[in-house]
Structures are given as structure tokens and as C-alpha cells.
């Protein structure tokens, strides 16, 4: 591990998350975050869940009853708290990076951008009423505008970027681990990195239940040497 003087390499012992996940709706931040935390043997914290707990009502209700400004204010407050108190893997809400203060607070953290394309994003979100900003008469155009507007902000804070489109949750987790190991040497346990470097199975493994994880799609993956082309460490 690197010295304590390097803020980008601080770990949970210094009261910081090991990894922070950002990305648009449907990128799989919660699903991938849970798998990552389990693989790494750390806790998982979801800012959206913290918001619901603090407000005592669903996010859609906060938007409807209190307005977006009230939601964003609460989101900024809880993100600030989580960045100093959460351990393990921390997933931010899709719109958290809209706040300049949040982007500033993310400096020095290991931030993984989980990206998703338009088609997969729409398929995964289903334009549900639980995501107020995606509702409207033209959901496809709304989602595209959201991706276009937020992409530069996500990439401003990210130190690692992984495309989750047509990838299973396990494949995305593997890519994240490889990307973090490349961008932040010494952050992860060596055995965990070695396991991530094992050849990728040719297909994603769907769950045995009828409610299959939307990230676990049976997608052919070429057995190419690492680094994977869909992992893009950022400076």
C-alpha cells in the first residue's frame, strides 16, 4: 500500500471508502457495488438508500412532494457525510455529480465510472416511475439528453471507467478490479487481483430465479488477454 501522504491511496483505515461508484441510471451501481463489496470482503453503502432512510419515503415521493431542489440538497448532505464515514464500496446516485461541491469532494478518492449506453440503459431502467427524471412523453430522448449532459461530469471525477453495456455483473466486477489495480496499485489484495486476471467465462451466468439480474445477460465475450478493452483507467 502507498504512504498515507497520498490521498488517492487512502483506505478504510483513514475513514474513507475503498471505492466510490458513479454513473448514469441503469449502469448497475447498486448491483455491481454489492458484488464488489462481497468479493472484497467490505461493506456496501448506497447513497440513494441513505436518502430514503433519512427522508422516510421513496425518492419519487421526495421529488413529487418536496421538489428536486430539496432532493438535491439532501443528496449533497448525505454524500458529504458518506465520503468521510462510509467504508468499503460507496455508490452515489446518478445525479450526485451535478453538484460542483460533490465533484470537488470526490478529488483524491478512487472513483469508478460505470458507464452504460442508450439501449442498455433504457432496457435496464424500463423508464420506471421510481426514476422521476426519466419520466416523460419521450423517454428515449430524455435518457439520451441525460447521458449527454452528465458524461463530462462523470469523467471529470472518475479515475477508472468501465463500460457495463452487454456485460454480466460478474464481468463488470472483474473489469473494475482490473482497472483499479492498474490505476491505483496497492489498493487491492494481490489474491483478489490474481483472481480477476483469470480468463473470463464465455457467457454471463444468469441467476437461477425468474427475476434475473438485468446485468446478467448471456453475452459472448472473447477470451482476449488483459487489460480488457472496456476498462479505461483515467489519469
Binned at pLDDT 50, 70 and 90, residue 141 comes out as confident
**Sheet of strand 111-115: strand arrangement:** 44-46, 89-91, 19-22, 111-115, 160-163, 231-233
* Domain-located, residue 224: yes
User: Is residue 57, in this structure, part of any structural domain at all?
Assistant: yes
pLDDT over 60 at 128, yes or no:
no
Mean per-residue pLDDT, 165-174: 88
Domain that holds residue 158: 7-233
User: What is the count of structural domains for the chain?
Assistant: 1
Report the CATH number that the domain containing residue 100 is assigned in CATH.
3.40.50.300
pLDDT of 14 higher than 70? no
Q: Is residue 1 part of a domain?
A: no
pLDDT, tens digit, 9 for 90 and up, residues 179-216:
999 999 999 999 998 888 876 555 444 444 434 444 44
The residue that leads in pLDDT, 94 or 120, is 94
* Angle separating helix axes 47-55 and 68-85, nearest 10 degrees: 120
Amino acid at each position: 500500500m502507498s504512504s498515507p501522504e497520498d490521498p488517492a491511496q487512502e483506505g478504510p483505515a483513514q475513514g474513507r471508502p475503498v471505492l466510490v461508484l458513479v454513473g448514469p441510471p441503469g449502469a448497475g451501481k447498486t448491483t455491481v457495488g454489492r458484488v464488489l463489496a462481497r468479493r472484497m470482503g467490505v461493506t456496501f453503502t448506497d447513497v440513494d438508500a441513505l436518502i430514503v432512510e433519512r427522508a422516510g419515503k421513496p425518492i419519487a415521493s421526495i421529488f413529487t412532494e418536496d421538489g428536486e431542489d430539496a432532493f438535491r440538497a439532501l443528496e449533497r448532505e448525505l454524500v458529504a457525510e458518506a465520503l468521510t464515514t462510509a467504508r468499503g464500496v460507496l455508490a452515489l446516485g446518478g445525479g450526485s455529480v451535478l453538484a460542483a461541491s460533490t465533484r470537488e469532494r470526490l478529488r483524491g478518492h478512487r472513483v469508478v465510472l460505470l458507464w452504460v449506453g442508450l439501449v442498455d440503459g433504457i432496457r435496464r431502467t424500463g423508464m420506471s416511475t421510481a426514476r422521476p427524471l426519466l419520466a416523460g412523453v419521450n423517454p428515449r430522448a430524455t435518457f439520451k439528453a441525460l447521458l449527454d449532459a452528465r458524461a463530462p461530469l462523470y469523467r471529470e471525477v472518475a479515475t477508472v471507467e468501465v463500460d457495463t453495456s452487454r456485460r454480466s455483473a460478474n464481468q463488470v466486477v472483474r473489469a473494475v478490479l482490473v482497472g483499479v489495480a492498474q490505476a491505483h496499485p496497492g489498493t487491492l489484495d494481490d489474491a483478489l487481483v490474481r483472481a480477476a486476471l483469470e480468463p473470463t467465462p464465455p457467457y454471463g451466468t444468469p441467476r437461477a430465479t425468474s427475476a434475473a439480474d438485468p446485468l446478467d445477460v448471456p453475452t459472448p465475450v472473447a477470451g482476449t488477454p488483459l487489460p480488457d478493452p472496456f476498462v479505461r483507467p483515467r489519469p
